[in-house]
Amino acid sequence: MPNIFVILVLFIALFTNRTLGVTYGVILGILLDLFIGKKIGITAIMLGAIGIIGSIFDKNFSKDSRITMMIMVMVSTIIYEVGMYFINYIIFSINVEIFEFIKILLVEVLYNIIITIIIYPLLQKAGYYIENKYKENKILTRYF
């Protein structure tokens, strides 16, 4: 099952800034926890972490390459799923089934990469539009 919220929070953090990426991640995580979660806050923590990771990727990598974006989505999905598994292991004391977890992780990473390939042009255009509006310089030229 693809996790579109990881992709969405990653793209928001890539094209805006860390604060907005974390804010959207936490809000989406709380909404997801309210509707389908067992405990409120677990998904919010991990999607907030994806917002931080997205801002780190923004400073270190280019957003123009589709391959780079696929790698960013792959790394973000792995970090999200491992974090969710670890937090659920601590809170709910679930049994450790590494083989099943790796199988689910690989399928989810593959789905997220395929979704990224399909919607990348749309997200890139929307992202650059938001980036131009959000990060434009607002300089008072009256004194210059």
pLDDT at residue 85 above 60?
Answer: yes
- For residue 45, the domain's CATH number is 1.10.1760
Q: What is the pLDDT of residue 112?
A: 93
- Give the percent of the chain with pLDDT over 70: 92
The residue-averaged pLDDT of 21-25 equals 91
Indicate the pTM of the whole model.
0.84
In the predicted model, is pLDDT for residue 144 greater than 80?
Answer: no
What is the count of structural domains for the chain?
1
Domain containing residue 90:
4-143
pLDDT of 5 > 60? The answer is yes
Half-sphere exposure of 67 (CA within 13 A, CB side): 0
List C-alpha distances in Å: 52 to 19, 49, 69, 75: 8, 5, 16, 13
| pLDDT value, residue 66 | 86
